[in-house]
Amino acid sequence: MKKINVLGVLLVCILMVASCGDNDTGLVDGDISESETDVEAADGDVDAETELELDEDGDLDAEMEQEIEAELELEEEIEQELEIEDELDLDLEIEDEAEKEEDVPDPGFDQYFGSLRYTGEATGFFRTEKIDEQWWFMTPEGHPFFSTGINVLGYNGTKSIDGHYYYREAVEAKYESQEEWAVATAKRCEEWGWNTVGAWSSWRLFKDKMPYTVILYLAEANVGPIDFFADAFRAKVKQKMQSTVLPNVDDPMLIGYFMDNEMYWTDYIFPGMGVHLFDGYMAFDYDTKKGKQVLLTFLEDRYTTIAALKEDFTTDATTWEELQAVTSLGFDKDNLNAQETRKVWTGKVAEAYFKITDEEFRLVDQNHLNLGVRFVSQISPTAVLAEAGKYVDVLTINFYDMNEDWLDMFLDMGDPDLLSVENFLEDHYNEAGGNKPVMVTEWGYRVKADGYNSWPPMYPILDSQIARADAYENKFQMMLDRKYFIGQHWFLYADQPIDGRDNPNDGEDNTFGLVSEQDEPYTELTERSAMMYKKIYYRLPWPRPESK
């Protein structure tokens, strides 16, 4: 709808009225002039009729002012109404465009849940590709695929701290076999908008039902840390590739492998769970740990003399040989040179890890994707991200919302190389080179529930399932609005045990599930996830191009 220039029309009308009034008044004024001449010729008395006409002329001016004010008020009302109509028209135009898009017959999906709206190169296995600057997985048949996965999609559920499997007990009463459970669960996933089996799942039960991923745990989160320069580490990686990767090398339903999960690259807020790689390797025994030997060679190459080293670090050692027995180097956190040395070393350790794991993986399997290490979003050093971007196919990041005070604690841990998450992982994407897509591999929201302690305390606790569904929609939409996201995996399928999970490090007990431990769906969330899934593929160009 075009906007009418109401103000212009009204001004023209008012000028016309004023012009007519001037002409009439001119006649009266002329009469007045004649009367005034007569009065002057007579006795100098003002003619009564002329006085009346003057009064009428004054009344006319007042009436005109009132009319103009009324017209202006009317003009403002009309302008406001037209603005509202324009907004409504704009909304209708947007809705019309959406309806047009939805009116286009949906061509459906291939057997791997890839959208038939677009056809690219079919390679027989999953890969990644940019379409109109938007990253996508591409299915073995060459169709775009956005991975919506579920972690811990398993028949057992989560083992409780006292050894119970409450979820398994519930599904054993409902299904005659694990296979029957898997068939019913795969059907649920499809109905609810989930197309991928995530980490820690019963993936062997789903191999013929839906795309899946596998986690290898090559460094077991790097607690310690592990010496990645040691021959023993490469040997362990080789063994894992033979036992787990080789048997699946020809499976087109397999997307790829997570090499690890939430590795520690720097200090962590919980004591004993993580240490900065510079401090960790410095604490190694020089005679038995190759990593310590590599570190001291790195320092000698960087500083040349012990005296130069002591400008950045404190030590009683007077020679490089004496430094071999030293297990820690003090430093001032405001010393930028010292911080840079620690950062560069962290990058060298990360390079060793990603290079070795990717080399051994590619030797065994050239068909599937290296899905990275599932970084903790709040403790991802830039030096590590830069190395990861050289080797992984997808940058995977666990990205939970955190309470403000806990988020501040992560940022205040003292490592200046950590990134903020305020811009929704765009910095992470860019630090990794800006050429590898991002997949959120853990996220979720929990709800207040009787009997749950909701550990750990860093995550928000929402008041209702509706609030959780709203939070899901909002964050998922933010992912869809950014071209570097290629998927998201929810944590988790069934709630954690009310008495805590069997993990000596945490005992987590949370209501993150899509279903309860009794296998009952949280319909507010599952209906919302089904709704959001329909939005994913409308971002593709239409009509679809011819096959390449």
Q: What is the pLDDT along the chain (548 residues), one digit of tens a residue?
A: 434 444 444 443 444 434 444 444 333 333 333 333 333 333 444 344 444 343 445 555 566 667 667 667 666 766 666 665 555 554 454 445 444 455 566 789 999 999 999 999 999 999 999 999 999 999 999 999 999 999 999 999 999 999 999 999 999 999 999 999 999 999 999 999 999 999 999 999 999 999 999 999 999 888 889 999 999 999 999 999 999 999 999 999 999 999 999 999 998 766 666 799 999 999 999 999 999 999 999 999 999 999 999 999 999 999 999 999 999 999 999 999 999 999 999 999 999 999 999 999 999 999 999 999 999 999 999 999 999 999 999 999 999 999 988 877 777 776 889 998 999 999 999 999 999 999 999 999 999 999 998 888 999 999 999 999 999 999 999 999 999 999 999 999 999 999 999 987 788 999 999 999 999 999 999 999 999 999 999 999 865 555 44
Q: Is 293 a domain residue?
A: no
d(CA 544, CA 116): 8
Within this chain, do residues 270 and 416 fall inside the same structural domain, yes or no?
yes
Within this chain, do residues 72 and 133 fall inside the same structural domain, yes or no?
no
**Contact by Cβ (8 Å): 509, 499:** yes
Within this chain, do residues 180 and 236 fall inside the same structural domain, yes or no?
yes
Q: What is the CATH number of the domain that holds 368?
A: 3.20.20.80
d(CA 83, CA 1): 11
Q: What is the CB neighbour count within 10 angstroms for residue 366?
A: 9
Q: Which amino acid is at 528?
A: R
Q: What is the CB neighbour count within 10 angstroms for residue 182?
A: 22
Q: Is 548 a domain residue?
A: no
148: its two tokens: 């919506």
Q: What is the end-to-end Cα distance of the chain in Å, rounded?
A: 42
Within this chain, do residues 169 and 26 fall inside the same structural domain, yes or no?
no
Q: Is 270 a domain residue?
A: yes
Nearest-CA neighbor of 228 among 38, 129, 356?
356
Within this chain, do residues 185 and 218 fall inside the same structural domain, yes or no?
yes
Q: Is 119 a domain residue?
A: no
Within this chain, do residues 427 and 506 fall inside the same structural domain, yes or no?
yes
Within this chain, do residues 95 and 153 fall inside the same structural domain, yes or no?
no
Within this chain, do residues 23 and 161 fall inside the same structural domain, yes or no?
no
d(CA 235, CA 296): 24
Last residue of a domain, one of 68, 103, 138: 103
Q: Is 430 a domain residue?
A: yes
228: its two tokens: 């990645």
d(CA 398, CA 402): 12
Q: Is 120 a domain residue?
A: no
Nearest-CA neighbor of 156 among 143, 146, 169, 144?
169
Last residue of a domain, one of 87, 103, 119: 103
- Which residues span the domain enclosing 52? 6-103
**Contact by Cβ (8 Å): 513, 465:** no
Within this chain, do residues 433 and 526 fall inside the same structural domain, yes or no?
yes
Partners of residue 139 on adjacent β-strands: none
Within this chain, do residues 206 and 261 fall inside the same structural domain, yes or no?
yes
**Contact by Cβ (8 Å): 414, 371:** no
Q: Is 378 a domain residue?
A: yes
Please confirm whether the linkage preceding 211 is cis (ω < 30° from 0).
no
422: its two tokens: 């305020």
Instruction: Name the burial class of residue 450, with classes exposed (0-12), middle (13-18) and buried (19+) by CB atoms within 10 angstroms of its CB.
Output: exposed
Helix pair 336-364, 382-391: axis angle to 10 deg = 20
Last residue of a domain, one of 36, 69, 103: 103
Q: Is 522 a domain residue?
A: yes
Within this chain, do residues 90 and 138 fall inside the same structural domain, yes or no?
no
Nearest-CA neighbor of 113 among 202, 199, 210?
210
Within this chain, do residues 98 and 188 fall inside the same structural domain, yes or no?
no
**Contact by Cβ (8 Å): 318, 351:** no
Nearest-CA neighbor of 508 among 465, 462, 441, 444?
444
Q: 344 Cβ partners below 8 Å, 6+ apart? A: 302, 383
The number of distinct structural domains making up the chain is: 2
Radius of gyration over alpha carbons of the chain, in Å?
Answer: 36
Task: Decide: helix, strand or coil at residue 396.
Answer: strand
d(CA 508, CA 498): 9
